[in-house]
Amino acid sequence: MTETIRKRPPRRKTQERLVQAVLFFCAAVSVFTTLGIVGVLLFETIEFFREVPLWSFLTDTQWTPLFSDKHFGILPLACGTFLTAAIAIAVAMPVGLLTAVFLSEYAGDRLRGTVKPVLEILAGIPTVVYGYFALLFVTPLLQRFIPGMAGFNALSPGIVMGIMIIPMISSLSEDAMYAVPQNLREAAQALGASRLQTAFGVVVPSAFSGIAASFLLAVSRAIGETMIVAIAAGQQPRLTLDPTHPVETMTAYIVQVSLGDTPTGTIEYKTIFAVGMALFLATLVLNLLSHGLRERFSEKYG
């Protein structure tokens, strides 16, 4: 009897197992690294809260762990983070959304094909460049219009951070709007809607969950942004909502301590883990919310 289908060569099975093992190892490295980071963060945070009660961490209005009179209230740092992020979103949200509307509803295919990649280059500029841009260009410019504004302030890095996250909002929102079925636009236009009315009356509401997801992701990015605020916002933890004053964000504080010569194991050292944990939780919640919204959006039109 002749065999038409050849038998499997004996070595192949071991080869395939080996390949599978290597691939699994590569995947496992990133998962375990993440778990390791969260583990260290958690461990040091628990250590921190052995010395500082959670209540004073959350309610004390001063943050002075590097001074002799130590206070561990996260509020000034959270306030600085909130202020710069809010300014960034105030800049990025309208500009990003309008850019997305333009690209999705007005621009032709060729223009969209050119503008979108160019916008995404904005996202590729190193943030340290944005930081110096804020400190050396935007701040002096703003000082001409706002007399008495400090050289380090929340406004300038907030605005620059907003510019940085515009592409994120416009690109993700545009994806969401572009995915709105064409027949909804036709329905609106058949009812006598103009292009503008179609865009804001039908397309934007229909893509709402996708657009909201892009906003949340942008907020999360703004909260986690480090370099711009470390360079241009100053390093003075101050409980204020006045954008002309220097502030310190959570991220900038972590930079400040990490770059200094704080000995391992001291309370100053542990503070950065507690702050890091707060930051991690905030961005995690935002990212999860954003993810959930995007799932809901793709359920509707997927």
Partner 1 sequence: MTPATVETQEELTQAFAIQGLNSWYGSFHALKGVSMTIPEKRVTAIIGPSGCGKSTLIRCLNRINDLIPGFRVEGQIAFKGQNLYDPALDPIQVRLQIGMVFQKPNPFPKSIYDNVAFGPRLCGEKDRSKLDAIVEESLRKAALWGEVKEKLKQSALALSGGQQQRLCIARTLAVGPEVLLLDEPCSALDPIATAKIEELLMDLKKSYTVVLVTHNMQQAARASDYTGFMLLGELVEFALTAKIFTNPTNSRTEAYITGRFG
Q: Closest separation between CB of residue 173 and partner 1, Å?
A: 16
Q: Which amino acid is at 200?
A: F
Q: Does 205 bind partner 1 (CB under 8 A)?
A: yes
Q: Which amino acid is at 97?
A: L
* CA distances for 272 relative to 39, 192, 241, 269, angstroms: 15, 58, 23, 6
Residue range at the interface with partner 1 (CB under 8 A); choices 149-157, 183-191, 229-237, 287-295: 183-191
The rounded Cα 178 to chain-centroid distance in angstroms is 23
Q: Does 300 bind partner 1 (CB under 8 A)?
A: yes
Of 79-108, binders to partner 1 (CB under 8 A) are 108
Q: Does 201 bind partner 1 (CB under 8 A)?
A: yes
Q: Which one, of 49, 41, 72, 43, lies nearest residue 59 by Cα?
A: 72
Question: Of the candidates 104, 156, 206, 249, which one interacts with partner 1 according to CB under 8 A?
Answer: 206
Nearer to partner 1, 189 or 236 (CB): 189
Q: Does 196 bind partner 1 (CB under 8 A)?
A: no
Q: Which amino acid is at 187?
A: A
Question: Of the candidates 15, 56, 197, 258, which one interacts with partner 1 according to CB under 8 A?
Answer: 197
Question: Of the candidates 192, 261, 264, 299, which one interacts with partner 1 according to CB under 8 A?
Answer: 192
What number of chain residues touch partner 1 (CB under 8 A)?
A: 20
Q: Which one, of 151, 128, 127, lies nearest residue 139 by Cα?
A: 151
d(CA 279, CA 271): 12
d(CA 302, CA 288): 20
Residues that bind partner 1 (CB under 8 A): 108, 181, 183-194, 197, 201-202, 205-206, 300
